[in-house]
Structure 1
Amino acid sequence: MNIKKCSIIGKKNIIHIISSLGEGGAEGVLFRLCKHDTKNKHIVITLTSEAKYSLMLRNENIEVIHLNMPTGRLRLSGLFFLYRLLRKKKPCVVQTWMYHSDLIGGVIARLAGIRNVIWNIRHSSLEPSKTKKSTLYVAKLSAQLSSWIPKKIICCAEEAKVAHVNLGYDSSKFDIIGNGYDLSHFKPQLVKETIRETFNISSSIPLLGMVGRYTPEKDQSNLFGAISKLVSKGVPLYLVLAGHGMSSDNNELVELIDKFDISEQVILMGSVNDIPNFMNQLDLHILSSSSEGFPNVLAEAMACSIPCVTTDAGSAKHILGDCGWITPIKDTAALSNNILLALQEFEHKNKWETRKASCVSRIRDNFSIEAMVDRYTIAWDSIEINSEQKN
């Protein structure tokens, strides 16, 4: 491939390949990266059809191409179209996202003559009991090909690197780049509407919340068990839940809440569009997950100055630093105790304000969007320079 042809008016032509553009952490990171990187030209190719981030990317004048293959299925016509597209566009770098796109996009890019391929891994662990067999198979196959396909492998935390090196990935290829957040968007701010006013909740009662879809990995049963223990002790609180499936029409969720006898303390908001507005209404954010990659909700809450209690899932500890409370996964008693410790500190205004300020500083100093964009740009530049030297 002629490297000199891959630039457009001084900008590198970067093509991203991702399975879908639906709601998810990786999709959000890709959107923020393309939006805030003004030094390069970005094109996003998704293996499936239109979804949440498709329009959002186009609104930022970023080209989006859908291969429209069924979820979980490949079509030779779609793969051949991708091959021809890469041959035509001649990107400086092909950046793939998540296991299936890493493997499929990486192989097609190499067959199209593109050597500058970077994989992006979004999982921090791959426990067989918590991972789909198909995903585990693709990850293991990718590990065998990791010495040939990618020039670099990007992951978002050290524990992700260790887990994948143990799986057989080429240890020399890894580059750790943490997620970045738009701190002009996620910040302490006055709210547009208040949950307290809507549900007539006194300002003296702590408002706890969790943002996360209804799925086994989020382990809402663990959360409800912890809240139930606090309620049985007479601790005043309300728990507000937001995310896909976190609504009263989810009968399974409602039954679970009733099982723990906390229906009077739980408010179901469903999907929420304005996450910063939601976060800024909370006193404490809780994450009860048994499995995570890089839990964006923790960084988003902390950027809004909301302290967090979380299980030790994925990169949670890396995000929190010493600014919050870490609990072993699936340990309901420990989760309940840490929430109680947080609420006890909440009663001391000066301590709590110091805690909130440390949360903002932690995200500003380590997870700004500018820092993330700079790190990706360095990664793209470095493999292009190496390719030019070899040529």
Structure 2
Amino acid sequence: MVDVAVNSGQKISIVFIITGLSLGGAEMMLYKVLSRLDRKQFDPVVVSLKCKGTLGDRISDLSIPVYTIGMKPGVPTLSSTWRLVRTVRQLKPDLIQGWMYHGNLAGQLATITATKPVPVIWNIRHSLNSLYSEKAGTIAVIKFLAKLSNYPAQILYNSKTSAIHHEELGYKADKTKIIPNGFDTDLFAPSTAARSSLRTELGITDNEFIIGLMGRYHPQKDHANFLQAAAILLQTSPDIHFVLAGTAISRENTALQDVIETLGITEQIHLLGERDDMPRLTAALDIASSSSCYGEAFPNVIGEAMSCGVPCVVTDVGDSAWIVGDTGRVVPARDPQALAHAWKDLIDRGAMDREMLGKQARARIIEYFSLGSVVAHYEALYKSLLS
């Protein structure tokens, strides 16, 4: 059957159902896809199961409606479930695109009372190095989705590792499609001005080195590992500074601050919190890191740093090693000695070698992970499922 929207030239109506709209990597990737989606062909609407969050207004600024369901953590209430079903019925989409585990489940359940068959696409943005590192409620949803995995029209993953992990849990392999994250290489670009301005902001001299970790405070990001590695490196290189930014990355986070004070590295650590100038912060780094210990599939922060021409040192979680290729360093997770050693290796190589690695990193992003090509894959999939 050919859908009327495809056959008649009408816009394809898509409802994107996402768990929430906080400032995280998965949420930002939805925003980036929406910002480039061809609005002459597609009519997108976003439904957030929680609240509007940090990104809700930014999506609204794209002239895309954002609906909120107001679900609370834990088991959803009958009233919130009915709000979801009623909202989707009123919108009458041609397609439903789930985004993240709870968004996928909600998208599938929302079709139960649909007045016409609506293809549902799941989008899984998480790897499962250790299933039982997840919250109990999330584990239950992951397992339940495995039992439902014959129902979606397609299951998207943003990494090969994620697809393998989920198929091992029983997710249908014949539904699998991999679309990696994409990056705006004009927005995330090398900038000597960014390097200078951040140093001025933080009171750091031009010849002092900055290593950065961009990402929200969450156990999977393993900030403790990053900080332990920082303490090790500072024993031999005391003029290094470490910049961290993201949700809950502040002195008010007592758990994070306690680790910093216990390690005795307070003066070299800069906690910047949630920022809206991530391209500038990222381009200002000398080395970017991802210290995650589980859960990552395709970390945005790595691709963004590479796009800025910043060499990366990453833990071997998800597809991080594949993203970096030979343009940086890959170390085992939960090994601060290895992380510190890799940083020291890049520092000792000198500025010219790091600049060369940075150029190679940016070229790799442009060739394999440009945002335009990734959005084109989404658009082609949406049209193919309706024909």
TM-score (norm 2): 0.93
Aligned to 1:104: 106
| Residues 4 and 10, structure 2, Cα contact 8 Å, conserved in 1 | no
* Shift in alpha-carbon separation, 1:134–1:103, aligned structure 2, 3 A: same
Q: Distance in 1 between matches of 2:72 and 2:66?
A: 17
Secondary structure (helix, strand or coil) at the match of 1:13 reads: strand
* Shift in alpha-carbon separation, 1:68–1:86, aligned structure 2, 3 A: same
* Shift in alpha-carbon separation, 1:232–1:84, aligned structure 2, 3 A: closer
Secondary structure (helix, strand or coil) at the match of 2:362 reads: helix
| Residues 285 and 307, structure 1, Cα contact 8 Å, conserved in 2 | yes
| Residues 29 and 181, structure 2, Cα contact 8 Å, conserved in 1 | yes
Q: Is 1:4–2:1 an aligned residue pair? A: no
| Code of the aligned partner of 1:191 | A
Residue 58 of structure 1 deviates from its aligned partner by 1.0
Aligned to 1:388: none
Encode CA deviations 1:128-172: one digit per residue, 9 max, x unaligned. Answer: 33111211111111111111x201000001111100000000000
Secondary structure (helix, strand or coil) at the match of 1:52 reads: coil
* Shift in alpha-carbon separation, 1:330–1:356, aligned structure 2, 3 A: same
Residue 334 of structure 1 deviates from its aligned partner by 1.0
* Shift in alpha-carbon separation, 1:7–1:32, aligned structure 2, 3 A: farther
Mapping for residues 131-150 of structure 1, pairs under 5 Å: 131-147=134-150, 149-150=151-152
Q: Distance in 1 between matches of 2:320 and 2:8?
A: 39
Q: Distance in 2 between matches of 1:87 and 1:251?
A: 44
Q: Distance in 2 between matches of 1:293 and 1:370?
A: 20
Q: Distance in 2 between matches of 1:175 and 1:376?
A: 11
| Code of the aligned partner of 1:95 | Q
Mapping for residues 152-301 of structure 1, pairs under 5 Å: 152-189=154-191, 190-191=193-194, 194-234=197-237, 236-291=239-294, 292-301=296-305
Q: Distance in 1 between matches of 2:195 and 2:138?
A: 41
Encode CA deviations 1:21-78: one digit per residue, 9 max, x unaligned. Answer: 1222221111111111113110111222221111111111111111223233423333
Residue 273 of structure 1 deviates from its aligned partner by 1.4
TM-score (norm 1): 0.92
Q: Is 1:129–2:132 an aligned residue pair? A: yes
Aligned to 1:333: 337
* Shift in alpha-carbon separation, 1:82–1:101, aligned structure 2, 3 A: same
Q: Distance in 2 between matches of 1:154 and 1:135?
A: 18
| Residues 15 and 46, structure 2, Cα contact 8 Å, conserved in 1 | yes
Encode CA deviations 1:169-215: one digit per residue, 9 max, x unaligned. Answer: 00000000001122221111332962322343232221111112222
* Shift in alpha-carbon separation, 1:361–1:2, aligned structure 2, 3 A: closer
Give the counterpart of 2:327 among 323, 328, 343: 323
* Shift in alpha-carbon separation, 1:47–1:257, aligned structure 2, 3 A: same
Aligned to 2:313: 309
Q: Distance in 1 between matches of 2:90 and 2:258?
A: 54
| Residues 94 and 118, structure 2, Cα contact 8 Å, conserved in 1 | no
Q: Percent identity?
A: 32
| Code of the aligned partner of 1:168 | G
Q: Is 1:80–2:82 an aligned residue pair? A: yes
| Code of the aligned partner of 2:152 | P
Q: Distance in 1 between matches of 2:219 and 2:85?
A: 37
Residue 348 of structure 1 deviates from its aligned partner by 4.3
Encode CA deviations 1:250-305: one digit per residue, 9 max, x unaligned. Answer: 23322211222222322222222100111121111122111223211111111111
Aligned to 1:389: none
Number of residues of Structure 1 aligned to a counterpart in Structure 2: 382
Q: Distance in 1 between matches of 2:101 and 2:255?
A: 31
| Residues 157 and 318, structure 1, Cα contact 8 Å, conserved in 2 | no
Encode CA deviations 1:229-268: one digit per residue, 9 max, x unaligned. Answer: 2222245311112122222232332221122222232222
Residue 9 of structure 1 deviates from its aligned partner by 5.8
The more displaced of 232-241 and 335-344 is 232-241
| Residues 119 and 154, structure 1, Cα contact 8 Å, conserved in 2 | yes
Mapping for residues 29-68 of structure 1, pairs under 5 Å: 29-38=29-38, 39-68=41-70
Moved over 4 A (4+): 5-9
Q: Is 1:365–2:381 an aligned residue pair? A: no
Secondary structure (helix, strand or coil) at the match of 2:122 reads: strand
Secondary structure (helix, strand or coil) at the match of 1:191 reads: helix
| Code of the aligned partner of 1:173 | K
Q: Distance in 1 between matches of 2:98 and 2:290?
A: 28
| Residues 239 and 266, structure 1, Cα contact 8 Å, conserved in 2 | yes
| Code of the aligned partner of 2:25 | G
Secondary structure (helix, strand or coil) at the match of 2:110 reads: helix
- Flag structure 2 segments of 5+ consecutive residues without an equivalent: none
